Amino acid sequence: MTDVSPDRIEKLSSLQETLGHEFVDLKLLNKSLTHKSYVNERNELVKHNERFEFLGDSVLDILVSDYLVDKYKDYAEGTLSKIRAAVVNESCLAGLARQLNLGEYLLLGKGEHLSGGRDKSSILANAFEALVGALFKDGGLESTSKVFLPLLKFEIEKFADSWSFRDYKSDLQEITQNKLVCTPSYKVVNELGPDHAKEFEVVVMIKSKIMGNGLGKSKKEAEQAAAKIAMESFTNESNI
Question: Which residues carry out catalysis?
Answer: 57, 129
DSSP-assigned states of every residue in 129-191: HHHHHHHHHHHHHHHHHHHHHHHHHHHHHHHHT-GGG--HHHHHHHHHHHHHS---EEEEEEE
User: Are 229 and 207 in contact, with CB atoms under 8 Å apart?
Assistant: no
Which H or E element spans position 240?
none
Which H or E element spans position 213?
strand 209-216
Q: How far is CA 87 from CA 11, 75, 84, in A?
A: 29, 16, 5
3-state secondary structure at position 72: coil
What are the E-state strand segments in 16-98?
none
Burial of 17 (0-12, 13-18, 19+ CB in 10 A): exposed
Q: How far is CA 202 from CA 71, 199, 214, 231, in A?
A: 29, 10, 5, 15
Which amino acid is it at 210? I
Q: How far apart are CA 33 and CA 18, in angstroms?
A: 15
